[in-house]
Amino acid sequence: IAQTALRKGKTFFVVPTGKENLQRRRQWLQRIGRKSFECLRGKLCEDHFTNDQFVPVILAKTGFKKLKPYADPSIFSHRPLPNVQYFAL
């Protein structure tokens, strides 16, 4: 997902997985610009999140960024897909 892979000083975040995160995963994939993403451990670097999406105390203590529980990526060089409705057949 991230073209900036393994850039020094960057924190990477796993795309949400599991049944309890299905809606959140769909939202991330929509914002990323993918209808589906086969890899279960896909990652996004910190560049795709605004500063208000990080827990400030963790950054101050460790130097690493941690996402807030319901953070969503929003910074991309492409336009996200239009809102897609998912239907069970």
Residue 53: per-residue pLDDT: 94
Q: Is the pLDDT of residue 24 over 60?
A: yes
**Phi and psi dihedrals of 29, rounded to 5?**
-60, -40
Confidence of residue 2 (pLDDT cuts 50, 70, 90): very low
Give the start-to-end residue ranges of the domains of the chain. 12-62
Cβ-count burial of 80 within 10 angstroms (0-12 exposed, 13-18 middle, 19+ buried)?
middle
Residue 7: per-residue pLDDT: 58
Question: For residue range 37-72, what is the model confidence (pLDDT) as tens digits?
Answer: 666 668 888 999 999 999 988 777 887 888 998 899
* Weakest-pLDDT range from 65-69, 72-76, 79-83: 79-83
Q: Which of 11, 15, 24 is nearest to 59 (CA)?
A: 11
Q: Is the pLDDT of residue 28 over 50?
A: yes
Residue 38: per-residue pLDDT: 63
